Amino acid sequence: MSEPVVVETVEAMRAWSRMAMKAGRSVGFVPTMGALHAGHTSLMERARKENDAVVVSIYVNPTQFGIGEDFAKYPRSLDADRKLCGEAGVECIFAPKNLYETGACSFIEVGGLQEHLCGISRPGHFRGVATVVAKLFNIVEADRAYFGMKDAQQLVIIQTMVRDLNMSVTIVPCEIVREPDGLAMSSRNRYLSVTERKLALVVPRALDCFRAAIKNGERDAMKIVGEMANILAERDEVEIDYCAIVDAHTLEDVTKIKGDVLAAVAVKIGKTRLIDNARFEGL
Amino acid sequence: MSEPVVVETVEAMRAWSRMAMKAGRSVGFVPTMGALHAGHTSLMERARKENDAVVVSIYVNPTQFGIGEDFAKYPRSLDADRKLCGEAGVECIFAPKNLYETGACSFIEVGGLQEHLCGISRPGHFRGVATVVAKLFNIVEADRAYFGMKDAQQLVIIQTMVRDLNMSVTIVPCEIVREPDGLAMSSRNRYLSVTERKLALVVPRALDCFRAAIKNGERDAMKIVGEMANILAERDEVEIDYCAIVDAHTLEDVTKIKGDVLAAVAVKIGKTRLIDNARFEGL
Protein backbone atom coordinates (compact mmCIF):
# COMPACT_ATOMS: atom_id res chain seq x y z
CA MET A 1 0.00 0.00 0.00
CA SER A 2 1.25 3.51 -0.71
CA GLU A 3 1.20 6.18 2.00
CA PRO A 4 -1.95 8.31 2.06
CA VAL A 5 -1.52 12.00 1.24
CA VAL A 6 -2.24 14.25 4.23
CA VAL A 7 -4.00 17.54 3.40
CA GLU A 8 -4.42 20.20 6.05
CA THR A 9 -6.50 22.96 4.49
CA VAL A 10 -10.09 23.22 3.28
CA GLU A 11 -8.88 24.50 -0.10
CA ALA A 12 -6.48 21.58 -0.62
CA MET A 13 -9.13 19.04 0.38
CA ARG A 14 -11.67 20.59 -1.97
CA ALA A 15 -9.15 20.60 -4.83
CA TRP A 16 -8.42 16.92 -4.24
CA SER A 17 -12.13 16.04 -4.18
CA ARG A 18 -12.92 18.05 -7.28
CA MET A 19 -10.18 16.23 -9.17
CA ALA A 20 -11.55 12.86 -8.08
CA MET A 21 -15.03 13.96 -9.15
CA LYS A 22 -13.84 15.15 -12.57
CA ALA A 23 -12.06 11.84 -13.09
CA GLY A 24 -15.36 10.09 -12.37
CA ARG A 25 -13.93 8.35 -9.30
CA SER A 26 -16.36 7.64 -6.48
CA VAL A 27 -15.23 8.72 -3.01
CA GLY A 28 -16.01 7.04 0.31
CA PHE A 29 -15.57 9.19 3.40
CA VAL A 30 -14.86 8.19 7.00
CA PRO A 31 -15.02 11.16 9.39
CA THR A 32 -13.10 10.53 12.62
CA MET A 33 -11.49 12.30 15.56
CA GLY A 34 -8.37 10.15 15.15
CA ALA A 35 -7.07 7.75 17.82
CA LEU A 36 -8.07 5.14 15.30
CA HIS A 37 -8.88 1.54 16.23
CA ALA A 38 -10.25 -1.59 14.61
CA GLY A 39 -13.74 -0.07 14.56
CA HIS A 40 -12.46 2.70 12.29
CA THR A 41 -10.52 0.18 10.21
CA SER A 42 -13.71 -1.72 9.49
CA LEU A 43 -15.32 1.51 8.21
CA MET A 44 -12.32 2.22 5.96
CA GLU A 45 -12.29 -1.31 4.59
CA ARG A 46 -15.98 -1.16 3.78
CA ALA A 47 -15.46 2.25 2.14
CA ARG A 48 -12.54 0.82 0.15
CA LYS A 49 -14.75 -1.98 -1.16
CA GLU A 50 -17.59 0.30 -2.22
CA ASN A 51 -15.68 3.26 -3.71
CA ASP A 52 -12.75 4.08 -5.99
CA ALA A 53 -11.03 6.14 -3.29
CA VAL A 54 -11.30 6.62 0.47
CA VAL A 55 -10.86 9.86 2.42
CA VAL A 56 -10.49 9.80 6.22
CA SER A 57 -10.80 13.03 8.17
CA ILE A 58 -8.99 13.36 11.49
CA TYR A 59 -10.19 16.33 13.50
CA VAL A 60 -10.93 16.62 17.19
CA ASN A 61 -13.88 18.95 16.88
CA PRO A 62 -13.98 21.43 19.76
CA THR A 63 -17.67 22.37 19.32
CA GLN A 64 -18.93 18.91 20.26
CA PHE A 65 -17.19 18.89 23.65
CA GLY A 66 -18.90 20.44 26.64
CA ILE A 67 -17.29 22.39 29.46
CA GLY A 68 -15.41 19.95 31.71
CA GLU A 69 -15.37 17.26 29.02
CA ASP A 70 -12.21 15.64 27.63
CA PHE A 71 -11.41 17.87 24.62
CA ALA A 72 -7.89 18.77 25.80
CA LYS A 73 -6.91 15.24 26.75
CA TYR A 74 -8.73 13.44 23.92
CA PRO A 75 -6.10 11.02 22.52
CA ARG A 76 -4.17 12.33 19.51
CA SER A 77 -1.94 9.91 17.59
CA LEU A 78 -1.53 11.16 14.00
CA ASP A 79 1.55 9.06 13.16
CA ALA A 80 -0.09 5.81 14.21
CA ASP A 81 -3.36 6.90 12.57
CA ARG A 82 -1.58 7.58 9.28
CA LYS A 83 0.01 4.14 9.32
CA LEU A 84 -3.31 2.46 10.03
CA CYS A 85 -5.00 4.44 7.20
CA GLY A 86 -2.23 3.40 4.81
CA GLU A 87 -2.73 -0.27 5.67
CA ALA A 88 -6.47 0.08 5.08
CA GLY A 89 -5.92 1.50 1.60
CA VAL A 90 -6.95 5.08 2.41
CA GLU A 91 -5.82 7.47 -0.30
CA CYS A 92 -6.23 10.82 1.45
CA ILE A 93 -6.25 12.00 5.08
CA PHE A 94 -7.88 15.35 5.78
CA ALA A 95 -6.31 16.62 9.01
CA PRO A 96 -7.16 20.31 9.34
CA LYS A 97 -5.60 22.33 12.16
CA ASN A 98 -8.83 24.28 12.58
CA LEU A 99 -12.17 24.19 10.78
CA TYR A 100 -13.83 27.32 12.21
CA GLU A 101 -13.52 30.88 10.92
CA THR A 102 -13.22 33.65 13.48
CA GLY A 103 -16.76 34.68 14.30
CA ALA A 104 -18.35 31.48 13.01
CA CYS A 105 -21.97 31.54 14.19
CA SER A 106 -23.88 29.07 12.00
CA PHE A 107 -25.12 25.86 13.55
CA ILE A 108 -27.30 22.94 12.52
CA GLU A 109 -29.89 21.77 15.01
CA VAL A 110 -31.65 18.45 14.55
CA GLY A 111 -34.61 19.11 16.82
CA GLY A 112 -36.14 16.42 18.99
CA LEU A 113 -33.55 13.75 18.32
CA GLN A 114 -30.87 15.63 20.24
CA GLU A 115 -33.05 15.75 23.36
CA HIS A 116 -32.70 12.08 24.28
CA LEU A 117 -29.98 9.74 25.58
CA CYS A 118 -26.53 11.40 25.31
CA GLY A 119 -28.15 14.73 24.45
CA ILE A 120 -29.34 15.06 28.03
CA SER A 121 -25.96 14.75 29.73
CA ARG A 122 -24.11 16.42 26.84
CA PRO A 123 -26.07 19.58 25.93
CA GLY A 124 -24.82 21.13 22.68
CA HIS A 125 -22.91 17.97 21.76
CA PHE A 126 -25.07 16.94 18.80
CA ARG A 127 -25.35 20.49 17.54
CA GLY A 128 -21.54 20.46 17.34
CA VAL A 129 -21.53 17.03 15.70
CA ALA A 130 -24.19 17.90 13.08
CA THR A 131 -22.45 21.16 12.24
CA VAL A 132 -18.96 19.75 11.82
CA VAL A 133 -20.22 16.76 9.84
CA ALA A 134 -22.12 19.09 7.49
CA LYS A 135 -18.94 21.15 7.05
CA LEU A 136 -16.90 18.02 6.31
CA PHE A 137 -19.53 16.76 3.85
CA ASN A 138 -19.45 20.12 2.05
CA ILE A 139 -15.66 20.08 1.86
CA VAL A 140 -15.10 16.42 0.92
CA GLU A 141 -18.15 16.07 -1.36
CA ALA A 142 -18.04 12.27 -1.08
CA ASP A 143 -20.49 9.84 -2.60
CA ARG A 144 -20.82 7.78 0.59
CA ALA A 145 -19.99 8.39 4.25
CA TYR A 146 -19.41 5.60 6.78
CA PHE A 147 -20.51 5.75 10.42
CA GLY A 148 -20.25 3.18 13.17
CA MET A 149 -23.45 2.09 14.88
CA LYS A 150 -21.87 2.43 18.33
CA ASP A 151 -22.72 6.13 18.22
CA ALA A 152 -26.34 5.25 17.53
CA GLN A 153 -27.81 8.64 18.32
CA GLN A 154 -25.17 10.39 16.22
CA LEU A 155 -26.02 8.09 13.32
CA VAL A 156 -29.77 8.81 13.48
CA ILE A 157 -29.09 12.54 13.76
CA ILE A 158 -26.75 12.52 10.75
CA GLN A 159 -29.21 10.44 8.71
CA THR A 160 -32.01 12.85 9.60
CA MET A 161 -29.90 15.91 8.78
CA VAL A 162 -28.94 14.45 5.41
CA ARG A 163 -32.58 13.71 4.61
CA ASP A 164 -33.95 17.04 5.86
CA LEU A 165 -31.30 19.23 4.22
CA ASN A 166 -31.22 17.21 0.97
CA MET A 167 -27.52 16.49 1.20
CA SER A 168 -26.42 14.30 -1.69
CA VAL A 169 -24.15 11.96 0.28
CA THR A 170 -25.33 8.42 1.11
CA ILE A 171 -24.92 7.43 4.76
CA VAL A 172 -23.70 3.87 5.30
CA PRO A 173 -24.21 2.55 8.87
CA CYS A 174 -21.64 -0.07 9.91
CA GLU A 175 -21.78 -2.76 12.59
CA ILE A 176 -20.14 -2.24 15.98
CA VAL A 177 -16.70 -3.83 16.24
CA ARG A 178 -15.91 -5.43 19.62
CA GLU A 179 -12.87 -6.64 21.51
CA PRO A 180 -12.73 -10.45 21.92
CA ASP A 181 -14.30 -10.09 25.40
CA GLY A 182 -17.23 -8.07 24.03
CA LEU A 183 -16.28 -4.47 24.89
CA ALA A 184 -17.14 -2.14 22.01
CA MET A 185 -14.10 -0.52 20.37
CA SER A 186 -13.72 3.13 21.37
CA SER A 187 -10.92 5.69 21.37
CA ARG A 188 -11.89 6.38 24.97
CA ASN A 189 -11.05 2.79 26.01
CA ARG A 190 -7.45 4.08 26.14
CA TYR A 191 -8.39 6.04 29.24
CA LEU A 192 -9.28 2.91 31.23
CA SER A 193 -6.98 1.44 33.87
CA VAL A 194 -6.63 -2.35 33.98
CA THR A 195 -9.22 -2.51 36.76
CA GLU A 196 -11.63 -0.17 34.97
CA ARG A 197 -11.20 -2.15 31.76
CA LYS A 198 -12.53 -5.21 33.58
CA LEU A 199 -15.41 -3.30 35.16
CA ALA A 200 -16.40 -2.03 31.70
CA LEU A 201 -17.56 -5.53 30.76
CA VAL A 202 -20.81 -4.95 32.61
CA VAL A 203 -21.85 -2.93 29.53
CA PRO A 204 -21.69 -5.75 26.95
CA ARG A 205 -23.14 -8.08 29.60
CA ALA A 206 -26.17 -5.79 30.02
CA LEU A 207 -26.64 -5.80 26.24
CA ASP A 208 -26.34 -9.58 26.13
CA CYS A 209 -29.13 -9.68 28.70
CA PHE A 210 -31.26 -7.49 26.38
CA ARG A 211 -30.57 -9.75 23.38
CA ALA A 212 -31.39 -12.89 25.37
CA ALA A 213 -34.62 -11.41 26.70
CA ILE A 214 -35.78 -10.40 23.20
CA LYS A 215 -34.96 -13.85 21.86
CA ASN A 216 -36.94 -15.37 24.74
CA GLY A 217 -39.96 -13.36 23.63
CA GLU A 218 -39.94 -10.75 26.39
CA ARG A 219 -41.55 -7.51 25.09
CA ASP A 220 -41.91 -5.49 28.28
CA ALA A 221 -39.25 -2.80 27.97
CA MET A 222 -39.29 -1.77 31.64
CA LYS A 223 -38.71 -5.34 32.74
CA ILE A 224 -35.67 -5.74 30.47
CA VAL A 225 -34.31 -2.30 31.41
CA GLY A 226 -34.55 -3.29 35.06
CA GLU A 227 -32.53 -6.44 34.45
CA MET A 228 -29.94 -4.54 32.41
CA ALA A 229 -29.63 -1.87 35.09
CA ASN A 230 -29.14 -4.57 37.74
CA ILE A 231 -26.12 -5.83 35.83
CA LEU A 232 -24.68 -2.32 35.37
CA ALA A 233 -25.22 -1.58 39.06
CA GLU A 234 -23.42 -4.68 40.30
CA ARG A 235 -20.28 -2.64 40.94
CA ASP A 236 -20.36 0.72 42.74
CA GLU A 237 -17.53 2.03 40.55
CA VAL A 238 -19.88 2.02 37.54
CA GLU A 239 -22.12 5.07 37.37
CA ILE A 240 -25.12 4.70 35.05
CA ASP A 241 -25.78 7.76 32.87
CA TYR A 242 -28.67 6.07 31.10
CA CYS A 243 -29.96 2.60 30.33
CA ALA A 244 -32.94 2.72 28.00
CA ILE A 245 -34.87 0.90 25.32
CA VAL A 246 -35.92 3.34 22.63
CA ASP A 247 -37.48 3.47 19.19
CA ALA A 248 -34.53 3.20 16.78
CA HIS A 249 -35.80 6.11 14.66
CA THR A 250 -37.32 8.62 17.10
CA LEU A 251 -35.08 7.64 20.06
CA GLU A 252 -38.10 7.92 22.31
CA ASP A 253 -38.52 5.47 25.18
CA VAL A 254 -40.78 2.53 24.44
CA THR A 255 -42.80 0.53 26.94
CA LYS A 256 -43.94 -2.33 24.68
CA ILE A 257 -41.10 -3.56 22.43
CA LYS A 258 -42.15 -3.55 18.76
CA GLY A 259 -40.69 -2.62 15.38
CA ASP A 260 -37.11 -1.31 15.34
CA VAL A 261 -35.68 -0.83 18.83
CA LEU A 262 -32.39 0.05 20.39
CA ALA A 263 -31.13 -0.79 23.87
CA ALA A 264 -28.75 2.06 24.65
CA VAL A 265 -26.39 2.33 27.57
CA ALA A 266 -24.04 5.03 28.82
CA VAL A 267 -21.91 4.62 31.93
CA LYS A 268 -19.12 6.45 33.63
CA ILE A 269 -16.23 4.45 35.04
CA GLY A 270 -13.81 6.71 36.86
CA LYS A 271 -13.58 9.72 34.55
CA THR A 272 -14.30 7.76 31.39
CA ARG A 273 -17.71 7.80 29.74
CA LEU A 274 -18.55 4.76 27.61
CA ILE A 275 -21.56 4.12 25.39
CA ASP A 276 -22.82 1.02 23.66
CA ASN A 277 -26.03 -0.36 22.21
CA ALA A 278 -27.79 -3.33 20.66
CA ARG A 279 -30.44 -3.22 17.98
CA PHE A 280 -33.33 -5.35 16.78
CA GLU A 281 -35.34 -4.62 13.66
CA GLY A 282 -38.81 -5.64 12.61
CA LEU A 283 -40.00 -6.99 15.97
CA MET B 1 -35.40 31.80 -26.54
CA SER B 2 -36.64 28.29 -25.92
CA GLU B 3 -39.01 27.53 -23.05
CA PRO B 4 -37.33 26.57 -19.79
CA VAL B 5 -37.94 23.03 -18.58
CA VAL B 6 -39.94 22.92 -15.34
CA VAL B 7 -38.91 20.20 -12.87
CA GLU B 8 -40.98 19.52 -9.79
CA THR B 9 -39.11 16.93 -7.75
CA VAL B 10 -35.84 16.91 -5.85
CA GLU B 11 -34.74 13.81 -7.74
CA ALA B 12 -35.39 15.36 -11.16
CA MET B 13 -33.62 18.58 -10.22
CA ARG B 14 -30.62 16.66 -8.95
CA ALA B 15 -30.48 14.57 -12.12
CA TRP B 16 -30.54 17.74 -14.24
CA SER B 17 -27.75 19.33 -12.18
CA ARG B 18 -25.58 16.24 -12.20
CA MET B 19 -25.83 16.10 -15.98
CA ALA B 20 -24.81 19.74 -16.27
CA MET B 21 -21.89 19.09 -13.93
CA LYS B 22 -20.73 16.05 -15.87
CA ALA B 23 -20.86 18.07 -19.09
CA GLY B 24 -18.60 20.64 -17.44
CA ARG B 25 -21.26 23.35 -17.70
CA SER B 26 -21.26 26.00 -14.98
CA VAL B 27 -24.64 26.67 -13.35
CA GLY B 28 -25.94 29.97 -11.97
CA PHE B 29 -28.81 29.72 -9.52
CA VAL B 30 -31.49 32.27 -8.64
CA PRO B 31 -33.65 31.14 -5.71
CA THR B 32 -37.04 32.90 -5.65
CA MET B 33 -40.55 32.64 -4.24
CA GLY B 34 -41.98 33.46 -7.69
CA ALA B 35 -44.13 36.53 -8.41
CA LEU B 36 -41.13 37.56 -10.45
CA HIS B 37 -40.37 41.18 -11.31
CA ALA B 38 -37.58 43.21 -12.90
CA GLY B 39 -35.43 42.75 -9.78
CA HIS B 40 -35.45 39.00 -10.35
CA THR B 41 -34.84 39.49 -14.07
CA SER B 42 -31.66 41.41 -13.32
CA LEU B 43 -30.43 38.47 -11.21
CA MET B 44 -31.21 36.02 -14.01
CA GLU B 45 -29.49 38.16 -16.61
CA ARG B 46 -26.38 38.47 -14.50
CA ALA B 47 -26.43 34.70 -13.90
CA ARG B 48 -26.83 34.15 -17.65
CA LYS B 49 -23.75 36.26 -18.34
CA GLU B 50 -21.56 34.50 -15.80
CA ASN B 51 -22.61 30.86 -16.28
CA ASP B 52 -23.33 28.32 -19.01
CA ALA B 53 -26.83 27.64 -17.67
CA VAL B 54 -29.28 29.29 -15.27
CA VAL B 55 -31.63 27.56 -12.83
CA VAL B 56 -34.43 29.53 -11.12
CA SER B 57 -36.25 27.98 -8.19
CA ILE B 58 -39.83 29.04 -7.48
CA TYR B 59 -41.02 27.94 -4.06
CA VAL B 60 -43.05 29.83 -1.49
CA ASN B 61 -41.27 28.44 1.56
CA PRO B 62 -43.70 27.96 4.45
CA THR B 63 -41.03 27.81 7.18
CA GLN B 64 -39.97 31.42 6.68
CA PHE B 65 -43.46 32.82 7.28
CA GLY B 66 -44.61 33.52 10.81
CA ILE B 67 -48.09 33.04 12.25
CA GLY B 68 -50.34 35.77 10.87
CA GLU B 69 -47.96 36.56 8.01
CA ASP B 70 -48.89 36.43 4.32
CA PHE B 71 -47.95 32.83 3.39
CA ALA B 72 -51.42 31.90 2.14
CA LYS B 73 -51.95 35.05 0.09
CA TYR B 74 -48.36 35.46 -1.12
CA PRO B 75 -48.71 36.09 -4.87
CA ARG B 76 -48.36 32.99 -7.06
CA SER B 77 -48.10 33.43 -10.83
CA LEU B 78 -46.28 30.45 -12.31
CA ASP B 79 -47.40 31.00 -15.91
CA ALA B 80 -46.19 34.60 -16.01
CA ASP B 81 -43.04 33.60 -14.10
CA ARG B 82 -42.25 30.89 -16.63
CA LYS B 83 -42.60 33.35 -19.50
CA LEU B 84 -40.34 35.87 -17.80
CA CYS B 85 -37.72 33.16 -17.11
CA GLY B 86 -37.83 32.11 -20.75
CA GLU B 87 -37.21 35.67 -21.90
CA ALA B 88 -34.25 35.94 -19.52
CA GLY B 89 -32.63 32.82 -20.96
CA VAL B 90 -33.28 30.56 -17.98
CA GLU B 91 -32.82 26.91 -18.88
CA CYS B 92 -34.47 25.20 -15.93
CA ILE B 93 -37.15 26.13 -13.39
CA PHE B 94 -37.24 24.13 -10.16
CA ALA B 95 -40.80 24.45 -8.86
CA PRO B 96 -41.29 21.79 -6.18
CA LYS B 97 -44.74 21.27 -4.67
CA ASN B 98 -43.20 20.65 -1.27
CA LEU B 99 -39.63 20.55 -0.03
CA TYR B 100 -40.15 19.13 3.48
CA GLU B 101 -40.31 15.48 4.46
CA THR B 102 -42.86 14.48 7.08
CA GLY B 103 -41.16 14.90 10.43
CA ALA B 104 -38.42 17.21 9.13
CA CYS B 105 -36.67 18.62 12.19
CA SER B 106 -33.29 19.93 11.02
CA PHE B 107 -32.71 23.67 10.97
CA ILE B 108 -29.82 26.01 10.36
CA GLU B 109 -29.38 28.88 12.80
CA VAL B 110 -27.07 31.76 11.98
CA GLY B 111 -26.63 33.10 15.50
CA GLY B 112 -26.39 36.79 16.24
CA LEU B 113 -27.16 38.02 12.74
CA GLN B 114 -30.76 36.89 12.96
CA GLU B 115 -31.35 38.93 16.11
CA HIS B 116 -31.39 42.33 14.39
CA LEU B 117 -33.62 44.29 12.00
CA CYS B 118 -36.25 41.99 10.44
CA GLY B 119 -35.29 39.18 12.83
CA ILE B 120 -36.93 41.08 15.67
CA SER B 121 -40.39 41.45 14.14
CA ARG B 122 -40.15 38.15 12.27
CA PRO B 123 -38.91 35.52 14.78
CA GLY B 124 -37.93 32.26 13.06
CA HIS B 125 -37.94 33.92 9.63
CA PHE B 126 -34.20 33.71 8.98
CA ARG B 127 -33.98 30.21 10.39
CA GLY B 128 -36.52 29.24 7.72
CA VAL B 129 -34.64 31.17 5.04
CA ALA B 130 -31.21 29.71 5.90
CA THR B 131 -32.63 26.19 6.03
CA VAL B 132 -34.50 26.31 2.72
CA VAL B 133 -31.59 28.01 0.95
CA ALA B 134 -29.21 25.30 2.23
CA LYS B 135 -31.66 22.65 0.97
CA LEU B 136 -31.87 24.35 -2.44
CA PHE B 137 -28.07 24.70 -2.63
CA ASN B 138 -27.70 20.98 -1.87
CA ILE B 139 -30.24 20.04 -4.52
CA VAL B 140 -29.17 22.40 -7.32
CA GLU B 141 -25.40 22.20 -6.65
CA ALA B 142 -24.80 25.42 -8.59
CA ASP B 143 -21.47 27.17 -9.01
CA ARG B 144 -22.90 30.61 -8.22
CA ALA B 145 -26.08 31.85 -6.54
CA TYR B 146 -27.53 35.33 -7.07
CA PHE B 147 -29.23 37.38 -4.35
CA GLY B 148 -30.65 40.88 -4.45
CA MET B 149 -29.29 43.41 -1.97
CA LYS B 150 -32.79 44.59 -1.03
CA ASP B 151 -32.97 41.70 1.41
CA ALA B 152 -29.75 42.90 3.02
CA GLN B 153 -30.03 40.86 6.20
CA GLN B 154 -30.90 37.72 4.24
CA LEU B 155 -27.83 38.28 2.09
CA VAL B 156 -25.45 38.64 5.07
CA ILE B 157 -26.98 35.58 6.73
CA ILE B 158 -26.61 33.47 3.57
CA GLN B 159 -23.02 34.67 3.06
CA THR B 160 -22.20 33.81 6.68
CA MET B 161 -23.86 30.40 6.44
CA VAL B 162 -21.93 29.58 3.25
CA ARG B 163 -18.65 30.61 4.89
CA ASP B 164 -19.31 28.86 8.22
CA LEU B 165 -20.58 25.60 6.74
CA ASN B 166 -17.98 25.54 3.92
CA MET B 167 -20.59 25.38 1.18
CA SER B 168 -18.92 25.38 -2.22
CA VAL B 169 -21.31 27.81 -3.95
CA THR B 170 -20.20 31.42 -4.59
CA ILE B 171 -22.71 34.05 -3.49
CA VAL B 172 -23.11 36.97 -5.89
CA PRO B 173 -24.83 40.03 -4.38
CA CYS B 174 -26.75 42.12 -6.94
CA GLU B 175 -27.83 45.77 -6.85
CA ILE B 176 -31.37 46.75 -5.89
CA VAL B 177 -33.60 47.39 -8.91
CA ARG B 178 -36.05 50.29 -8.52
CA GLU B 179 -39.19 51.58 -10.19
CA PRO B 180 -38.68 54.88 -12.09
CA ASP B 181 -39.98 56.78 -9.02
CA GLY B 182 -37.46 55.08 -6.71
CA LEU B 183 -39.55 52.38 -5.00
CA ALA B 184 -37.54 49.16 -4.70
CA MET B 185 -38.97 46.26 -6.73
CA SER B 186 -40.75 43.70 -4.54
CA SER B 187 -43.30 40.98 -5.06
CA ARG B 188 -45.19 42.53 -2.16
CA ASN B 189 -45.66 45.82 -4.08
CA ARG B 190 -48.58 43.98 -5.73
CA TYR B 191 -50.46 44.23 -2.44
CA LEU B 192 -50.43 48.06 -2.47
CA SER B 193 -53.50 50.11 -3.41
CA VAL B 194 -52.94 53.19 -5.57
CA THR B 195 -52.93 55.38 -2.46
CA GLU B 196 -50.59 53.09 -0.57
CA ARG B 197 -48.28 52.91 -3.57
CA LYS B 198 -47.84 56.71 -3.35
CA LEU B 199 -47.34 56.61 0.43
CA ALA B 200 -44.60 53.99 -0.05
CA LEU B 201 -42.37 56.63 -1.64
CA VAL B 202 -41.44 57.88 1.83
CA VAL B 203 -39.11 54.87 1.97
CA PRO B 204 -36.83 55.77 -0.96
CA ARG B 205 -37.04 59.42 0.16
CA ALA B 206 -35.72 58.47 3.61
CA LEU B 207 -32.86 56.58 1.96
CA ASP B 208 -32.13 59.57 -0.31
CA CYS B 209 -31.87 61.64 2.86
CA PHE B 210 -29.31 59.13 4.24
CA ARG B 211 -27.26 59.25 1.01
CA ALA B 212 -27.29 63.05 0.93
CA ALA B 213 -26.25 63.29 4.58
CA ILE B 214 -23.33 60.89 4.07
CA LYS B 215 -22.22 62.85 1.00
CA ASN B 216 -22.41 66.05 3.04
CA GLY B 217 -19.99 64.52 5.52
CA GLU B 218 -22.46 63.82 8.35
CA ARG B 219 -21.20 60.87 10.43
CA ASP B 220 -23.55 60.99 13.42
CA ALA B 221 -25.83 57.99 12.89
CA MET B 222 -28.50 59.06 15.38
CA LYS B 223 -28.83 62.44 13.69
CA ILE B 224 -29.35 60.88 10.26
CA VAL B 225 -31.72 58.22 11.64
CA GLY B 226 -33.77 61.01 13.19
CA GLU B 227 -34.08 62.80 9.86
CA MET B 228 -34.97 59.57 8.06
CA ALA B 229 -37.59 58.70 10.66
CA ASN B 230 -39.10 62.19 10.28
CA ILE B 231 -39.66 61.52 6.60
CA LEU B 232 -41.17 58.08 7.24
CA ALA B 233 -43.44 59.54 9.95
CA GLU B 234 -44.84 62.32 7.75
CA ARG B 235 -47.91 60.22 7.09
CA ASP B 236 -49.85 58.46 9.84
CA GLU B 237 -50.68 55.60 7.47
CA VAL B 238 -47.00 54.56 7.47
CA GLU B 239 -46.01 52.52 10.50
CA ILE B 240 -42.26 52.28 11.10
CA ASP B 241 -41.04 48.78 12.01
CA TYR B 242 -37.41 49.90 12.12
CA CYS B 243 -35.20 52.63 10.73
CA ALA B 244 -31.56 52.01 11.58
CA ILE B 245 -27.97 52.53 10.51
CA VAL B 246 -26.00 49.37 11.09
CA ASP B 247 -22.62 47.83 10.41
CA ALA B 248 -23.01 46.10 7.03
CA HIS B 249 -21.38 42.90 8.30
CA THR B 250 -22.50 42.49 11.91
CA LEU B 251 -25.85 44.31 11.45
CA GLU B 252 -25.29 45.96 14.80
CA ASP B 253 -26.36 49.56 15.30
CA VAL B 254 -23.59 52.12 14.87
CA THR B 255 -23.41 55.55 16.48
CA LYS B 256 -20.45 56.96 14.55
CA ILE B 257 -20.63 56.14 10.84
CA LYS B 258 -17.43 54.44 9.62
CA GLY B 259 -16.40 51.58 7.35
CA ASP B 260 -19.20 49.65 5.63
CA VAL B 261 -22.65 50.73 6.73
CA LEU B 262 -26.22 50.07 5.82
CA ALA B 263 -29.24 52.28 6.36
CA ALA B 264 -32.10 49.81 6.67
CA VAL B 265 -35.80 50.58 6.75
CA ALA B 266 -38.91 48.46 7.27
CA VAL B 267 -42.40 49.95 7.25
CA LYS B 268 -45.93 48.70 7.26
CA ILE B 269 -48.46 50.40 4.99
CA GLY B 270 -51.91 48.95 5.51
CA LYS B 271 -51.22 45.22 5.75
CA THR B 272 -48.14 45.35 3.54
CA ARG B 273 -44.63 45.22 4.97
CA LEU B 274 -41.92 46.80 2.82
CA ILE B 275 -38.16 46.82 3.33
CA ASP B 276 -35.38 48.76 1.63
CA ASN B 277 -31.83 49.86 2.29
CA ALA B 278 -28.88 51.90 1.09
CA ARG B 279 -25.23 51.01 1.54
CA PHE B 280 -21.90 52.83 1.71
CA GLU B 281 -18.57 51.05 1.82
CA GLY B 282 -15.16 52.16 3.05
CA LEU B 283 -16.28 55.30 4.91
Q: Are strands A27-32 and A106-110 parallel, antiparallel or unpaired?
A: unpaired
DSSP string, A23-38: TT--EEEEEE-S---H
Residue A164 contacts B where some CB pair is shorter than 8 Å: yes
The CA distance from A129 to the nearest CA of chain B, in Å, is 12
Q: Tell me which residue in B111, B163, B168 faces A107 most closely, judged by beta carbons.
A: B111
pLDDT on residue A1: 58
* Predicted local confidence at residue B1, as pLDDT: 58
Nearest-Cα distance to chain B for A275, in Å, is 24
Q: Which residue in chain A has the smallest CA separation from B130? A: A106
**From B37, B40, B125, B249, the catalytic residue:** B40
Query: Average of pLDDT values for A82-104?
Result: 96
Of the residues A10, A94, A105, the best mutation for testing chain B's interface (the one with the most B CB atoms within 10 Å of its CB) is A105
The SS3 assignment for A172 reads: strand
Q: Does A19 touch chain B (CB under 8 A)?
A: no
Partner-chain contact A165 B131, CB within 8 Å = yes
CB contact under 8 A, B110 and A112: no
Q: What per-residue confidence (pLDDT) applies to B114?
A: 87
Is B110 near chain A, with CB under 8 Å?
Answer: yes
| Mean predicted confidence (pLDDT) in A55-72 | 95
Question: Average pLDDT for residues A60-83, to the nearest whole number?
Answer: 94
Q: Which pLDDT band holds residue A114 (cuts at 50, 70, 90)?
A: confident
Residue A165, chain B, CB below 8 Å: the answer is yes
Query: A106 and B167 in contact by Cβ < 8 A?
Result: no
Residue among A111, A135, A139 minimizing CB distance to B107: A111
For B54-83, write each residue's pLDDT tens digit. Answer: 999 999 999 999 999 999 999 999 999 999
For residue A191, pLDDT over 90 is answered with yes
Which residues of A have a catalytic role annotated? 40
Averaged over A118-141, what is the pLDDT?
95
**Is B40 tagged catalytic?**
yes
Which domains, from first to last, does chain B contain? 5-174 (3.40.50.620), 187-276 (3.30.1300.10)
Whether residue B116 lies within 8 A of chain A, CB to CB, comes out as no
Max CA distance (Å), chain A = 58
Contact residues, chain A, for B106 at CB < 8 Å: 108-111, 130, 160-161, 164-165
Min Cα–Cα distance to chain A from B217, Å: 31
Closest CB to B112 among A105, A108, A163:
A105
Q: Chain B partners of A115 at a C-beta cutoff of 8 Å?
A: none
Q: Do A104 and B164 touch (CB under 8 A)?
A: yes
Confidence band, pLDDT 50/70/90 cuts, at residue A227: very high
Query: How far away is chain A from the Cα of B105, in angstroms, using its nearest Cα?
Result: 5
Confidence of residue A115 (pLDDT cuts 50, 70, 90): confident
- CB-CB contact of B124 with B110 (8 Å): no
| Interface probe with A: pick from B166, B249, B250, most Cβ of A within 10 Å | B166
pLDDT mean by block of 10 residues, chain B; 283 residues: 90 96 95 97 98 98 93 94 97 97 94 89 94 98 98 97 98 98 96 97 98 98 98 95 96 96 97 97 94
3-state secondary structure chain B: CCCCEEECCHHHHHHHHHHHHHCCCCEEEEEECCCCCHHHHHHHHHHHHHCCEEEEEECCCHHHCCCCCCCCCCCCCHHHHHHHHHHCCCCEEECCCCCCCCCCCEEEEECCHHHCCHHHHCCCHHHHHHHHHHHHHHHHCCCEEEEECCCHHHHHHHHHHHHHCCCCCEEEEECCCECCCCCECCHHHHHCCHHHHHHCCHHHHHHHHHHHHHHCCCCEHHHHHHHHHHHHCCCCCEEEEEEEEEECCCCCECCECCCCEEEEEEEEECCEEEEEEEEECCC
Interface probe, candidates A139, A159, A165, A168, chain B, greatest B C-beta count within 10 A: A165
Contact between chains at B104 and A134 (C-beta distance less than 8 A): no
Question: For A17-36, what is the mean pLDDT?
Answer: 96
Query: What's chain A's average pLDDT?
Result: 96
Burial of B182 (0-12, 13-18, 19+ CB in 10 A): middle
* Residue B283 contacts A, CB cutoff 8 Å: no
CB contact under 8 A, B110 and A106: yes
Contact list in B for residue A107 (CB cut-off 8 A) is 108-109, 111
Q: How far is A190 from chain B (nearest CA, A)?
A: 32
The Cα of B12 is separated from the nearest Cα of chain A by a number of Å equal to 13
> Which of B:197-256 have CB within 8 Å of A?
none
Chain B residue with minimal CA distance to A112? B105
